[in-house]
Amino acid sequence: MTSGSPTNPPLPSSGREDEVLQSLRAVIDPELGDTIVDLGMVRSIAVSEGDVVVDVALTIAACPLRTQIEKDVRGQVEALEWVRSLEIRIAAMDADERAAVMARARWKAREDAPDTAVPANARILAIASGKGGVGKSSVTVNLAVALAQRGLTIGILDADIWGFSVPRLLGMEGDVEARQGKMVPLEKPVGSGLVRVLSMGFLAGEEQAIMWRGLVLNRAVQQFLQDAHWGDIDYLLIDLPPGTGDVQMGLARMLPRTEMLVVTTPPVAAQKVAARAADMARKGYLRVAGVIENMSDFTCEHGSTYALFGTGGGQRLARSLGVPLIGSIPLHADLAAAGDSGLPVAAGSGELAGIFAEVARVVAEEVAPLVQAQGCTARLIERVEAAVASGEAGGSSSG
Ligand SMILES: Nc1ncnc2c1ncn2[C@@H]1O[C@H](COP(=O)(O)OP(=O)(O)O)[C@@H](O)[C@H]1O
Ligand SMILES: [Mg+2]
């Protein structure tokens, strides 16, 4: 007495239900690398005036990603203007539904994802922006430092192959060495934590690095992911090149569980550009985890605050994407100066350090917390894979 295939999304009967369904296509299960709609997790949608009820079926009721999926559903549905209230009802899938989800996830995994050297329980956050110069690299290194100060080990992959700046921002130099044919990231202790970095800037001098660029852009990022000893990292932060190009799409293919943090500056035009980065992420089935506004306002030495580029831009972008605004970093001379000294402001004790500590707290506790012992679905896939493998090995088939 089983229901039909859960991978057929429910057919909405009204325009508003369809709008809700479409909005849920932006909710990604990062472990399965697919939208909850295509995974058949959305069982039904009911709309009465502005009141919405969504039934979501998780692979397992105690799924560690449950809170996150609930939050993401809320973010997306409440971003629809007409929504007045939202009730999310969570249930667990039955065995048949689970099998169908796993079949789809496995199919996608086989299509998409090669093995990488990034540990399965590390959370991967790519820092994206629509254009250069918005402070993406500054945000990456300071977030890494602030997370490391929580006692964590943070990898930074500097994927801005042409315009790498992470080594300079962290005051690190040296050559990457190989161990057993794999690159060993350079390391720097930060508080009770650790930052590990791979960047084009560490590869045998500027000249050779320049030769690499253009030729093997995507290959370089691929090697940083596959032929590297990342070791036991908790988060991998990826400083993406600006824009919405090959590297972004390559990443979606190589690391489907990558989640995006979009950096924007306050002006309206900047948000439109930043929104493109988010669109691109979603086309690649990557979860957009939140927005960080940079250069938000400026406080002069007399204590007056000026919103040089306008205000509320980060909040507006976050709302339109249905994701949280993680923080706003003011325009501050110390941040620019820190770039030259190689001492990130987050490692200091000033106001900016406090702001980045709070951004790191929101990331680690709310937006992308570490999932203990891997999420339910990843474990399930492993079990399904094992079962399939042993079935194949046994040569038995029920047709
Ligand atoms: N909040 C800020 N206040 C002042 N200067 C900043 C701030 N954020 C970034 N900068 C400066 O702006 C420039 C561009 O920042 P960067 O992090 O390299 O941007 P991106 O990686 O997006 O190109 C750098 O010189 C940097 O020091
Ligand atoms: Mg940069």
Measured CA distances, 98 to 36, 237, 398 (Å):
13, 31, 19
243 lines ligand 1 (CB under 6 A): no
State the ligand closest to the CA atom of 243: 1
Which protein residue has the closest C-alpha to ligand 1 atom 8? 135
Q: Is the residue at 158 inside a domain?
A: yes
Pair 194, 291 in one domain: yes
**Ligand 1 closest atom vs CA 296:** 1
CATH number reported for the structural domain that contains residue 26 in this entry: 3.30.300.130
Say if 141 falls within a structural domain.
yes
Task: Say how many Å lie between the first and final Cα of the chain, rounded.
Answer: 21
DSSP at 245:
S
Residues of the chain below pLDDT 50: 1-7, 214, 373-375, 392-399
Residues around ion ligand 2, judged by CB within 5 A, are 136-137, 160, 165
Q: Using most ligand atoms within 8 A of CB, pick from 138, 166, 351 the residue to mutate for ligand 1.
A: 138
pLDDT of residue 46: 94
Tell whether 160 and 90 lie within a shared domain: no
The answer to whether residues 174 and 297 belong to one domain is: yes
Residue showing tokens 């987050």: 346
Residues 84 and 141 in one domain: no
Quick one: 172 and 196 in the same domain? Answer: yes
Question: Are 361 and 327 members of one domain?
Answer: yes
Q: Are 243 and 111 in contact (CB under 8 A)?
A: no
97, 133: one domain: no
Number of domains in the chain: 2
Does 398 reside within a domain?
no
- CB of 332 closer than 6 A to ligand 1? yes
Measured torsion, CA atoms of residues 390, 396, 397, 398, in degrees rounded to the nearest 10:
-110
Centre of ligand 1 from the C-alpha of residue 338, in Å: 10
Residue 278 maps to a domain: yes
Question: pTM of the predicted model, to two decimals?
Answer: 0.83
Q: What is the pLDDT of residues 336-385, one digit of tens each?
A: 898 888 999 999 999 999 999 999 999 999 999 887 644 455 555 555 55
Task: Examine the domain organization and report whether 302 and 154 are in the same domain.
Answer: yes
Instruction: Tell me what pLDDT residue 3 has.
Output: 42
CATH number for the domain including 334?
A: 3.40.50.300
Residue 118 lies in a domain: no
Q: How many Cβ atoms sit within 10 Å of the Cβ of residue 31? A: 24
- Torsion angle of C-alpha atoms 13, 59, 366, 261, degrees rounded to 10: -70
**39 and 171, same domain (yes or no):** no
Residue of the nearest CA to atom 27 in ligand 1? 336
Residue 294: its pLDDT value, please?
Answer: 95
**231 with 155, same domain?**
yes
Q: Is residue 169 part of a domain?
A: yes
Structure tokens of 219?
A: 């290959």
Same domain, 69 and 164: no
Tell me what pLDDT residue 110 has: 56
Do 22 and 127 lie in one domain? The reply is no
* Contact predicate 27/38, CB 8 Å: no
Helix (H, G, I), strand (E, B) or coil at 217: helix
- For residue 274 the two structure tokens come to 């930043």
Domain that holds residue 307: 123-367
Classify residue 232: in a domain, yes or no. Answer: yes
Q: Does residue 301 form part of some domain?
A: yes
